[in-house]
Amino acid sequence: MNFSFSDEEKAFREEVREFLASALTPDMKRAQGLTPSVFSDKEISDPWHRALASKGWAAPGWPPEAGGPTWTPAQRWIFATECAKAGAPSVSPMGVAMVGPVIIRFGTPEQKAKYLPRILNCEDYWCQGYSEPGSGSDLASLKTRAVRDGDHYVINGTKIWTTHAHHANMMFALVRTDDTGRKQEGISFILIDMTSPGITIRPILTIGGDHEVNQVFFDDVRVPVENRIGEEGLGWTYGKYLLEFERGGGIAAARLRRGLQHVIDMANGEAPGQPIDDPALALKISEIEIDIDALELTELRIMSALQTGQNPGAVSSLLKLRNSEIKQAITRLAVDVLGYDALVWEPTRPLYGLNRATLPEIELPVVPEYLNSRAFTIFGGSSEVQRDIIAKLMVGL
């Protein structure tokens, strides 16, 4: 066991750095830096996704036969770390990181051939139709109905909190095809074309001032049966498999480090009164840095034990829990560093569209990001739900 890079790994790091130096434009970096929402806007993430795709690097977590690069865990770590350090946007996760692994594992050859290249090349933009108004933590109670009519399902109901439904042309959804047995048993996993007649979208504004999430209504929406993944009634299994990828299995630590660096840069630069000189701040920075170190090595330990593309299992709950809590600690510290500048509320979105700055640009996203980041411990299964999973599956209670 050792934690230093081989010559090949160093050469790979150089290659990543060179790629970033040419492909990541100053505009993309600025726009990403001024993004306070949970996900990058489509107009930022898509160009970056395409740049990665042209290099064959859009889906580091996929096995090579599906179009992923043949990277070792060390290479995946180097790539994630260098991208985060450079301030690259994140690729929309709903395609590459969520539905992709499900199609790879459970899709038919036709489904793989149809969807995987379109995900890799950023031709489809996906959204996730899991939650409903009455079914959040208790996801399995979902009620959106899919009734068989010849070679179609007819869908009625509503999904809520659907991130970027207003950008997406495809949705993967959990729908109820049977309500006679246990609630988990009558669920199916289907792929819905968002341009189908009968779909309407209501925007939901969140407390950071952004439009990320929506409510989606289905009124007799017809979806071909061939759009079902796997077997009818086994959607819960596929849906949970997907959640493991949503929650963890990547390298979240790299982005957290970038976030902490942003706090340090402000404290050492434009924030009022040179807060970096404050020993109390130094302690807090160290505390968070050590938390990130712990998460990072946990992620690496897990990744090293898995084959590329394999599902991480219950430990994904631990990664999600800590990632979300550390993220919130960073955004809280960032607000503290702002001092009185935290009082100024800039309502314009997107922030990168502003040319008259009310605050130093580095400070602009801080308060909205703090507010938006409250959602980290809610989506993808709340912290309370993750703790229940950890207690059950890791501790054995």
Partner 1 sequence: MDLTPTEEQRLLRESAGRFVRAQYNADARRKRAEAGEGFSAATWREFADLGWLALPLPEAHGGLGGGAVEVGMLMEAFGEGLVDSPYVSTVILGAGAVAAAGSSAQQADLLPKVAEGALRIAFAHSERQARYNLADVATHAVKDADGWVLDGAKTAVLDADEADLLIVSARIHGNRADAKGIGLFIAPRDAEGLTLTTDLRLGGGKVAQVGLAGVRLGADALLGGLEDALPVIEAVTDHAAAALCGEAVGMMQTLVETTAAYIKTREQFGKPLSVNQALRHRMADMAVAVEEARSLALRAALFADAEPVDRARAVSGAKAKIGRGARFVAEQAVQLHGGMGVTEELEIGAFLKRVVFFDAMFGGVDHHLKRHAALSAAGRAA
Ligand X SMILES: Cc1cc2nc3c(=O)[nH]c(=O)nc-3n(C[C@H](O)[C@H](O)[C@H](O)COP(=O)(O)OP(=O)(O)OC[C@H]3O[C@@H](n4cnc5c(N)ncnc54)[C@H](O)[C@@H]3O)c2cc1C
In the set 15, 278, 289, 361, which binds partner 1 (CB under 8 A)? 278
Both tokens of residue 169?
């042309």
Instruction: Give the max Cα distance, the chain.
Output: 70
* Piece of 15-23, 49-57, 219-227, 273-281 that binds partner 1 (CB under 8 A): 273-281
CB within 8 Å of 3: residues ≥ 6 apart: none
The site string for ligand X over 70-109 (x = CB under 6 A, - otherwise) reads: ----------------------------------------
Choose among 118, 122, 69: nearest CA to 92: 122
In the set 19, 48, 62, 161, which binds ligand X (CB under 6 A)? 161
* Residue 334 engages partner 1 in binding (rule: CB under 8 A): no
* 238 vs 173: CA distance, rounded Å: 11
In the set 38, 116, 260, 389, which binds ligand X (CB under 6 A)? 38
Q: Sign of the C-alpha dihedral, residues 142, 145, 148, 152?
A: negative
Q: Give whole-number Cα distances, 101 to 80, 139, 161, 309, 346, in Å.
A: 18, 20, 22, 7, 39
Q: Give whole-number Cα distances, 344 to 32, 116, 265, 340, 362, in Å.
A: 21, 45, 20, 8, 14
* Piece of 73-81, 121-129, 275-283, 284-292 that binds ligand X (CB under 6 A): 121-129
Known catalytic residues are: 246
* Residue 387 engages partner 1 in binding (rule: CB under 8 A): yes
Binding partner at 348 among partner 1, ligand X, none, C-beta below 5 to 8 Å by kind: none
Pairing of strands 187-193, 228-229: antiparallel
Tell me the closest approach of the beta carbon of residue 129 to ligand X, in angstroms. 6
- Which residue in the block uniquely carries the two structure tokens 């290659």? 15
Question: Which C-beta is closer to partner 1: that of 224 or that of 339?
Answer: 339
Choose among 129, 319, 99, 286: nearest CA to 216: 129
* Piece of 174-182, 232-240, 252-260, 372-380 that binds partner 1 (CB under 8 A): 372-380
The site string for partner 1 over 118-137 (x = CB under 8 A, - otherwise) reads: -------------x---xxx
CB-based contact 338:272 (threshold 8 Å):
yes
In the set 144, 158, 162, 324, which binds ligand X (CB under 6 A)? 162
* Residue 382 engages ligand X in binding (rule: CB under 6 A): yes
Q: Sign of the C-alpha dihedral, residues 150, 117, 310, 132?
A: negative
Residue at 68: amino acid letter: G
* Residue 337 engages ligand X in binding (rule: CB under 6 A): no
Binding partner at 345 among partner 1, ligand X, none, C-beta below 5 to 8 Å by kind: partner 1
Binding partner at 43 among ligand X, partner 1, none, C-beta below 5 to 8 Å by kind: none
Q: Give whole-number Cα distances, 209 to 109, 331, 347, 354, 371, in Å.
A: 43, 16, 7, 15, 9
In the set 155, 171, 187, 213, which binds ligand X (CB under 6 A)? 213
Q: How far apart are the first and last CA of the chain?
A: 33
* Residue 215 engages ligand X in binding (rule: CB under 6 A): no
Tell me the closest approach of the beta carbon of residue 44 to partner 1, in angstroms. 22
Binding partner at 201 among partner 1, ligand X, none, C-beta below 5 to 8 Å by kind: none
The residue ranges that bind partner 1 (CB under 8 A) are 131, 135-138, 141, 160-161, 204-207, 213, 272-275, 278, 280-281, 328, 332, 335-336, 338-347, 358, 367, 370-372, 374-375, 377-379, 382-384, 387
